[in-house]
Amino acid sequence: MGRSTLLSVLCALVLAGCAGSAPEAARSKDRLLRVAAAVSAEPSAGAPAPGAAAEEAADAHEHEDEVDEDGAEVDDGLELPVDPGAGTRAHSPLTAMTEAQIEELLAKDPAALGPMSVGATNAGALFNGVRMPESDRWELVDPGHAWGTRETIDALDRAIAEVHRQFPGSPKLYIGHISARDGGRLSPHKSHQAGRDVDISYFLDARHRWYQRATAANLDRERTWAFVRALITETDVELILIDSSVQRLLKEHALKIGEDKGWLDEVFQYGSRKPRPLIRHARGHANHIHIRFYSPVAQESAVRAYPLLVKRGAIKPTAQYVRHTAKKGQTLGSLARQYGTTVEAIKRANGLRSTAIQAKRVYNIPRPSSGPAAPPKHVVVPPRRLPPPRAAEASPPARHDEAGPAMGG
């Protein structure tokens, strides 16, 4: 089947899919549009045939394995450990309130408590979420799943605004999933459950489409690096997932324009042996960036209000998981028996469609609970990883032969 014929068939399927139930139609439409985008893209050297590329693009997000270059899973759901002495403990206005005051607001004016990011990003919830607004600087791919904390929305806006400050008239970015309105499981992701994860496009050339793969031929290095740099230096970003092939292009550009190599080695996983870089490789992220923000106020508010939210039924108790690295020969059945849970519970916790598992992969194993789940832990936000001044920005050294300032007499 020729490419034009295949595209025609896919477009017809998109239109036909809209006739079903709204949620199912939206899911089908999104998947088919991704396939169509992949088919219409020009294949790079050595790339699979168009049909294979289309299927790979469509499945990349649905099977978001997120593994690093050594084959170990990127910690995409659990919060990264932070030395309490090396960061700032988050604070919330709710800390000064009594439980009775919080409970009264929950009953009469819950919105007054503000947004709350509850639990881990792969096992959490969102309370009083804020929807990403419409803008001429971005396009919401799925507005119904573009809810986050106020801090997430503001941080994203700030980083995009910085690109437009440097490059007026920049094209729109595509913003994919953030979270559902109340958080929780959002297919096909493992994370995106607590209003702090964002999927967003790269800045590409004029033919840019959502879910289009970034390559050396189409990546707008200047704008994309300005965006990533603003995320790192002007927001409380916890993690950025970018394919190593794109990391290479951005790092080379950053070095070319005079960024400090030592700082870039702290930031990028590509070409560096530094522990815990902010930007990590993850399979399936050559066609979009995954950003996770800290939301200090929203997270700390959730810690304070969690027992009352559960008590009043505003949220369900957040799940708790054991992280298990699968060994050769293990099955979901053996893991279920080992941990006292069920095969179906493990499948749900990991977004698995079948019972097949892979050795050396890390899986979430639900803990059986005999009582309420433990409340979220207090959050500590590490210092931002700021670069040293660029050479052009540094103050010139003082010259000893220069005359001092004139003195009035």
pLDDT tens per residue across span 89-99: 888 999 999 99
More confident residue, 129 or 4: 129
Distance of CA 179 to the CA centre of its chain: 10
Q: What's the confidence (pLDDT) of residue 68?
A: 36
- Which domains are present in the chain? 9-62 (no CATH), 84-298 (3.30.1380.10), 321-368 (3.10.350.10)
Question: Which pLDDT score is estimated for 392?
Answer: 52
Confidence of residue 251 (pLDDT cuts 50, 70, 90): very high
A 10 A CB-CB count for 244 gives 20
Residue 132 confidence class, pLDDT cut points 50, 70, 90: very high
- Whether 400 shows a pLDDT value over 50: the answer reads no
Mark 155-165 as b/e (b = at least 16 C-beta within 10 Å).
bbbebbebbee
How far does Cα 150 stand from its chain's mean position?
A: 15
Cβ pair 379, 304 in contact under 8 A? no
236: Cβ–Cβ under 8 A, 6 or more apart, which residues? 151, 155, 293, 294, 295, 296, 381, 384
Least confident of 15-19, 239-243, 274-278, 359-363: 15-19
Separation CA 143–CA 130 (nearest Å): 11
In one-letter notation, the amino acid at residue 300 is E
Helix, strand or coil, per DSSP, at residue 17? helix
Provide the pLDDT confidence category of residue 53 given band limits of 50, 70 and 90: very low
CB-based burial, 375-409: b 16+ in 10 Å, e otherwise? bbeebbbeeeeebeeeeeeeeeeeeeeeeeeeeee
**For residue 80, pLDDT beyond 50:** no
Average pLDDT over residues 214-230: 97
pLDDT value of position 90 = 84
The amino acid at residue 350 is N
Q: In angstroms, rounded to a whole number, what is the distance separating the alpha carbons of residues 187 and 180? A: 10
With a cut of 60, say whether residue 263 has pLDDT above it: yes
pLDDT in tens, 291-318: 999 999 999 999 999 999 999 889 988 7
Structure-model confidence comparison of residues 67 and 140, the more confident one: 140
Position 60 scores a pLDDT of 38
Give me 377's structure tokens: 């832990």
| Residues in contact with 218: Cβ distance below 8 Å, sequence separation at least 6, in sequence order | 204, 205, 207, 208, 212
Write out the H or E segment, with its range, that includes residue 181: none
Closest CA to 3 of 44, 51, 61: 51
* pLDDT of 222 over the 70 cut: yes
Q: Grade residue 368 by pLDDT with cuts at 50, 70 and 90.
A: low
How does residue 6 score in pLDDT terms, banded at 50, 70 and 90? Answer: very low
Can you give the pTM of this predicted structure?
0.71
Among 102-111, 306-315, 369-378, the least confident range = 369-378
CB 347 within 8 A of CB 185: no
Interatomic CA distance for residues 159 and 203, integer angstroms: 13
Flag whether pLDDT at 40 surpasses 80: no
Query: What pLDDT sits at residue 42?
Result: 39
Query: What does 217-251 look like in DSSP terms, one character per residue?
Result: TTB-HHHHHHHHHHHHHHS-EEEEE--HHHHHHHH
